[in-house]
Copies of this chain bind each other. A is one copy, B any other.
Amino acid sequence: MNDMTSPTALRRPFPDACLAALRAIVGDRLSVAQAVREHHGHDESPYPDVLPDAVIFAQSTEEVAAVARICNTYHVPIVAYGAGSSLEGHLLPVQGGVTLDMSGMNAVVAVNAGDFTATVQAGVTRKQLNEYLRDTGLFFPVDPGADASLGGMAATRASGTNAVRYGTMRENVVSLTVVTADGRVVRTARRAPKSSAGYDLTRIFVGSEGTLGLITEVTVKLYPQPEAVSAAVCNFPSLGEAVDSVIEIMQAGVPVARVEFMDEHAVRSVNRYSKLDLRETPLLLFEFHGSTAGVQEQAAAVQAIVHEHGGMDFEWAHRPEERNRLWAARHNAYFAGLQLRPGCRSSTTDVCVPISALAECVRETARDLAAAPFPTTIVGHVGDGNFHVLMLLDPDSEDEWQASERINHALVRRAIAADGTCTGEHGVGLHKMGFLAEEHGEDALELMRGLKHAFDPNNILNPGKIISW
């Protein structure tokens, strides 16, 4: 495991000649100002800040390619930066170098409504895209908690509350424009719905966290806005009964669009933060998409199942405002949780297990949490077998940090033992590197390392992340 000490000893030289060559390309869109570097040396992880040597605000794929060629020549690291919302230290430039801020590359390049695809620059955020699509009758479903950039979402293989129905970035990226370590521009696939034409370059870059190439454009799948949408909240006497309901719903093949779990602590935090009055017990939050008849059918099937598991107060939210308020509250669960302990440092876990192992995994985790010396919440995309524990730590207490790490390790080992993964959606970054050998085995890591060496022989792309060089 990585500890909290950032490996600043690994910083590489940043030659003046490199700085000059970069300035010649991007002019005053390169900054070495302390405030700008600080802003880009910080994410939502529990790690301390690590500052880049310089920040470049990119404007085009060609410019990114020119920057890559220069950095590759000087062996200077490049870290791509989207919305700064990563949770495991992905964007911390642990070996120094250039942070490439993609937020200015935020144009929607094309919406091909007839083909259900949109092509956007990497800095476009998921909310921006959906705002743009509003009048087309289409939407883009992948929704991590933060309003992340599409480039960042592709890079971390993000998902969110809709994944149970619509899939993750793995399923929803059609094609990428990628700048390679040596500054070539590659489009990974065409827009055809399927292809058997060679190696799946798209899926190689999705989830590669900026270590194999720099994503500058993303083509994603779109979906028709459903004719009918309905949401419901249901409380449960215990966590186990809520999770067991989800397992039965999935096994019955009900095509729920969303099914989210919150434990009583999460509900309390959300009530306070979003001024709701949800009953403070474990609860499930559902959404159903389909035709009017289809939605009713799904809801009836779900209602019958939750009733058998002691579900109480199955409450409908039919009106869009009501629904949006509930889902906004769910999306803000992370920020709501932070408010349970003002001034805290947070650590989040992110395991995902086969659904048959979910109930046991959540129950054992809750047992660990009951003994924790700090406040915690559990929320989960439980339809996918994915859940998070948010741990709210005293920033000055090494004991609390160590206790949180012990809980995290125990949880990851429990998930791996159940044929699950150490990260369902947050990614590896720095914090999960130590678990990959346990999850995949050394031989699989050796293949990953071979891929990294082939695609980035000078190790300039987000070095020190995912796997050791």
Interface 9-residue window, one of A48-56, A72-80, A432-440: A432-440
Flag A82-114 by CB within 8 Å of B: 1 or 0 each: 000000000000000000000000000000111
CB-CB under 8 A for A200 and B192, given A114-B251, A253-B224, A444-B187:
no
Known interface pairs A204-B204, A356-B112. Does A196 touch B425 (Cβ–Cβ under 8 Å)?
yes
For residue A69, CB closer than 8 A to chain B, the reply is no
- Residues of chain A touching chain B, judged by Cβ–Cβ distance below 8 Å, are 112-117, 156-159, 163, 167-168, 170-171, 180, 184-201, 203-204, 206-208, 212, 223-224, 247, 250-253, 290-291, 293-294, 297, 350, 352-356, 384-386, 415-416, 419-428, 432, 435-436, 439-441, 443-448, 450-455, 466-467
Are B203 and A156 within 8 A (Cβ)? no
Give A439's nearest chain B residue, CB to CB: B197
Q: Which residues of chain B come closer than 8 Å to A426, judged between CB atoms?
A: 196
What residues of B have a CB within 8 angstroms of the CB of A446 in the complex? Answer: 184
Please measure, in the bound complex, the distance between the C-alpha atom of A301 and the C-alpha atom of B239, giving whole angstroms: 42
Contact B199 A208 (CB under 8 A): yes
Contact A451:B207 (CB < 8 A) given known A159-B194, A297-B291, A355-B193: no
Partner of A198, one of B167, B171, B203, B207: B207
Given A420-B190, A444-B187, do A427 and B352 touch, yes or no (CB 8 Å)? no
Please indicate the chain B residues that have their CB under 8 angstroms from the CB of A185 in the complex. Answer: 443
A300 to chain B, nearest CB (A): 11
Assess the B355–A114 pair: CB atoms within 8 A.
yes
| Contact among B352, B440, B443, B453 with A454 in the assembled complex (CB-CB below 8 Å) | B453
Asked if B444 contacts A454 (CB within 8 A), the reply is: no
Q: When chains A and B are docked, how far (Å) is the Cα of A117 from the Cα of B198?
A: 26
Question: Which chain B residues border A467 with CB–CB below 8 Å?
Answer: 198
In the complex, the answer to whether B114 meets A191 with C-beta atoms within 8 Å is no
A186 to B451, CA, bound (A): 15
